[in-house]
Amino acid sequence: GLGARDFFRFFAKKYGDAIFRPGGPAGRSSGGRGGDREFDLWAHGRTGYPFVDANMRELEATGFMSNRGRQNVASFLALDLHVDWRRGADWFESYLVDYDVTANWSNWVFAAGLTSGQRLNRFNVVRQSKVYDPQAAYVRHWLPELRNVPASFAHEPWLMTDEQRQEHGAEAYPLPCLPPSAFVSG
């Protein structure tokens, strides 16, 4: 809303062009070990993590993504895949129909944990998927490969056996690009 818009405008005013620098206002290294492969999987919704993939495919198809989705996919790219967060900010800049420079870049700085004095807010994309899409309606809408998968597997399709993947027509959905154990509390 307007409060968030104003917050990010004041944040950008305070920190100036630091919101565009690799280390953000904090001036810390943001990792950036992830490369083109990880970025491409993320950008095109092929990570094997349904909540991330559904949000990225919605963005590519419509130019929109919910705030919840934006926070999750940004956290996943920067903190889990360790891709330079600025690549994600650039991608959003190219796709979002409601793009705003200060909101976008400031949100990405926060997602990467590069504001001074801010605690890191790493999202567990498996847990978030289960909490905010309990029946997997959103995931199944944007991921046709999972359309016939029961909700009990739709958030964690890697739990299906090969036979179950075939039975539900999910063979084309990718396996996770990161070990699911990275989200043990999911």
Annotated binding site: 98-100
Other Cβ atoms less than 10 A from the Cβ of 127: the count is: 14
CATH code (residue 124): 1.10.579.10
**Block means of pLDDT (10 residues each) for the chain, length 186 residues?**
83 84 74 87 99 99 97 96 96 95 90 78 94 98 98 97 98 96 67
- Tally of structural domains, the chain: 1
Angle at 169 between CA 166 and CA 171, to 5 degrees: 65
Give the Cα separation of 104 and 25 in Å (integer): 15
Structural domain boundaries, residue 33: 1-186
Mean pLDDT of the chain: 91
Output the pLDDT for position 185.
Answer: 52
Annotated binding site for FAD: 98-100
Orientation of helix 50-62 relative to helix 85-95, angle to 10°: 40
pLDDT digits (tens, 9 = 90+) for 112-165: 888 877 667 889 999 999 999 999 999 999 999 999 999 999 999 999 999 999
